[in-house]
Amino acid sequence: MKSPAGKKFKNNNLFLILFSLAILIIIFVGLLSVGQFFPTEYNRADAEIKKVTEAIKEVKDNILTFDTKAYDAKMLQLANYPAPKVSTTTAATSTATATATTTPVKPNLWPVKTAYPKAGALLPFNRIIAYYGNFYSTKMGVLGEYSEEVVIQKLRDEMAKWKEADPTTPTVPAINYIAITAQGTAQPDGKYRLRMPDSQIDIAVSLAKKVDGIVILDIQIGLSDLKTELPLLEKYLKMPNVHLGLDPEFAMHNGQKPGDYVGSFDAAEINYTANYLAKLVKDNDLPPKVLIVHRFTEDMVTNYKKITPLPEVQIVMDMDGWGSQARKFNTYRQVIQLEPVQFTGFKLFYKNDFREPGSRILTPAEIMELQPRPSFIQYQ
């Protein structure tokens, strides 16, 4: 996986910086020895030690300082102004009838002004290309449908297409594993969800290493809640390359059964999750986490204006709808483009996107015409 851009160096040659840091450390150790074995030189050595300590801190700060100018420039590039002419529809869900329309978008919606991320952030300097599914199921996505070798090859093929469509943005492969799956039956505790064993999550972690990528653990909580489920995944979320996805479609309320109704998350629940992840980042000195929130209707995410990205957590609102090209463009516009949070995503279905007459899967070049351009692409 390519290292994220966005780190500011006073010396553009990283090797020279690290070499200088090593020399300073050697001098530091030598000065300590002087103070230990030659007490009469202690005061002079102590003063020199302070100078070297300050120099080491300066080099470290230079390496870890986030480049806000590069961030702003990339966010403006993602905003993709002026707005391209894209066919849309009046449909906001994957079941409504498509009718072509075009409506201009207010130019001040994007890029979104939020807190700058900590150094080491993946976004916006990279684009995440994710393969989604569950190893137990052949119907939930490519991860369970194909062998490991096929998954790796197909994922690399998709990454190559995105590199060709946008050479300016490195691609980061992701294994997007559903770690908690919603169920049509109550299960012993009545929560309508099934937690995957660690042995299955470990496979996702191992697979991500083979593609030099990241892991995204998706959760469909059913009638459970985030306060119960998140701590059970904490040992994985403490890993620097493991991120999180929330699926509001299967977050049920008032005893409703998953599949019978479309669920939802409120901004308060999303913020709770972001703060939970932020604490892990701070406590374990991790790079910022990415939090994916899937969505294909307005009601799936309530009070979006109150969602608060943090320096430690980057929030992606992912268009999760399937269907014709026009329908998907309109869903993106209605529930992602017009309700800005921070970053955006776009989901592609190898099968469902062909279900309507004349429909097909969109190409990277077509998706690059969206406003804003998605930073997260998920294939199911």
* Tens digit of each residue's pLDDT (9 = 90 or more) over 148-190: 999 999 999 999 999 999 999 999 999 999 999 999 999 999 9
Place of tokens 């590069």: 70
pLDDT at position 128 over 70: yes
Structure-block tokens of residue 334? 């209605």
pLDDT at 307 over 70: yes
Task: Assign domain 75-379 to a CATH class.
Answer: alpha beta
Q: Which residue has the higher pLDDT, 2 or 276?
A: 276
Q: How far apart are CA 51 and CA 335, in angstroms?
A: 54
In whole angstroms, give the CA distance from residue 235 to residue 67: 31
Residue 15: count of CB within 10 angstroms of its CB: 8
pTM of the predicted model as reported, rounded to 2 decimal places: 0.79
Residue 6 near residue 66 (C-beta atoms within 8 A): yes
Using the structure block, give the residue that is written with the tokens 């059964």. Answer: 257
**What are 221-257's pLDDT values in tens digits?**
999 999 999 999 999 999 999 999 999 999 999 889 9
pLDDT value at residue 100: 40
Closest by CA to 141, choosing from 364, 370, 348, 359, is 348
Pairing of strands 193-195, 171-182: antiparallel
Q: Cα–Cα distance between 172 and 168 in angstroms, integer?
A: 13
